[in-house]
């Protein structure tokens, strides 16, 4: 399909006027073409050996593409036209394309419309959406989101892949639709997993924040005053001006190392209480 369409585009309306000038200058005057015609004919005469016939046709197309690439401006339009018409004729015989005029190259006009119409519908819908966003004076983000939808959904459903390049331009590729859809689903699954992990982490941070706020309700000065042992007896009997214990329940003075550890706990509670008070103050304001 791609080959025949390319040749059809290359052919000017006056292509037959090039016959005398080009038909024998390149491609050996068409000898290579005639050899492939004979090979296809021989394959079909061999119990209608379709695989071999198609293989010969594909080789003809490949060699013609090489010829076009190498010849550039010095190309026999007459030979190319005959090859394209021959390929079209054989595809009709094999039932790959429907009935077309004997002068048609590739798929007929009605079939071309069927092929092109889905792409035109996507283009028309994209244009309508762009115009609507522009009328509503939406921000750049919404235009980019619409562009991503075109790439990730609309064109993927048509078997078209747009790969964003570093230079800002997209590389267009035709890929099997099912392959693209599976790749899209895998990408969406990965994004969903990342979003779930991010949400779980945010939830854990919020729970930790609430826990600290709840813990911060208690003033540092009161942290040790209500601490009791297993028997319900107060652990400490005396405190300094900050509320840090200086004597145990029996009235014995605490060691310096013990007081140091208690001071560290007091500092932590003081920080939590300050944060709690600041949060309350901000919420009141």
pLDDT (tens place) for every residue of the chain, 285 residues total? 444 444 444 444 334 444 434 444 434 445 678 888 899 999 989 888 988 999 999 998 888 888 777 755 566 777 788 888 888 888 888 877 766 555 566 655 555 667 788 888 999 999 999 999 999 999 999 999 999 999 999 999 999 998 888 887 888 888 899 999 999 999 999 999 999 999 999 999 999 999 999 999 999 999 998 888 888 888 999 999 999 999 998 899 999 999 999 999 999 999 999 999 998 888 766
Tokens of 90: 């054989």
pLDDT at 22 (0 to 100): 40
pLDDT at 92 (0 to 100): 83
Neighbours of 149 (CB within 10 A): 14
User: Would you list the domain boundaries of the chain?
Assistant: 2-105, 112-175, 220-284
pLDDT at 24 (0 to 100): 42
pLDDT at 243 (0 to 100): 93
pLDDT at 50 (0 to 100): 87
Measured between its terminal Cα atoms, the distance across the chain in Å is: 71
pLDDT at 72 (0 to 100): 52
Neighbours of 33 (CB within 10 A): 20
Percentage of residues in the chain having pLDDT higher than 90? 48
pLDDT at 75 (0 to 100): 67
């Amino acid at each position: 399909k791609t080959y025949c369409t390319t040749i059809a585009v290359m052919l000017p309306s006056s292509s037959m006027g090039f016959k005398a000038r080009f038909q024998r200058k390149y491609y050996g005057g068409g000898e290579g073409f005639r050899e492939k015609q004979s090979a296809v004919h021989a394959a079909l005469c061999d119990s209608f050996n379709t695989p071999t016939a198609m293989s010969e046709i594909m080789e003809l197309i490949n060699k013609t593409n090489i010829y076009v690439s190498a010849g550039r401006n010095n190309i026999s339009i007459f030979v190319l036209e005959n090859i394209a018409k021959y390929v079209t004729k054989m595809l009709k015989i094999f039932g790959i394309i429907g009935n077309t005029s004997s002068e048609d190259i590739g798929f007929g006009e009605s079939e071309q419309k069927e092929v092109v119409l889905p792409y035109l519908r996507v283009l028309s819908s994209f244009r309508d959406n762009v115009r609507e966003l522009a009328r509503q004076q939406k921000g750049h983000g919404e235009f980019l989101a619409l562009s991503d939808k075109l790439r990730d959904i609309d064109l993927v459903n048509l078997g078209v892949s747009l790969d964003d390049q570093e230079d800002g331009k997209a590389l267009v590729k035709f890929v099997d639709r099912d392959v693209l859809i599976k790749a899209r689903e895998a990408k969406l699954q990965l994004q969903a997993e990342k979003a779930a992990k991010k949400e779980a982490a945010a939830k854990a941070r919020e729970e930790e924040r609430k826990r600290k706020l709840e813990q911060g309700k208690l003033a540092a000065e009161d942290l040790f005053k209500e601490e009791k042992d297993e028997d319900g007896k107060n652990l400490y009997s005396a405190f300094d001006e900050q509320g840090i214990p200086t004597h145990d329940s029996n009235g014995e003075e605490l060691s310096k190392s013990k007081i140091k550890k208690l001071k560290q706990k007091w500092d932590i509670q003081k920080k939590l209480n300050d944060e709690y008070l600041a949060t309350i103050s901000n919420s009141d304001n």
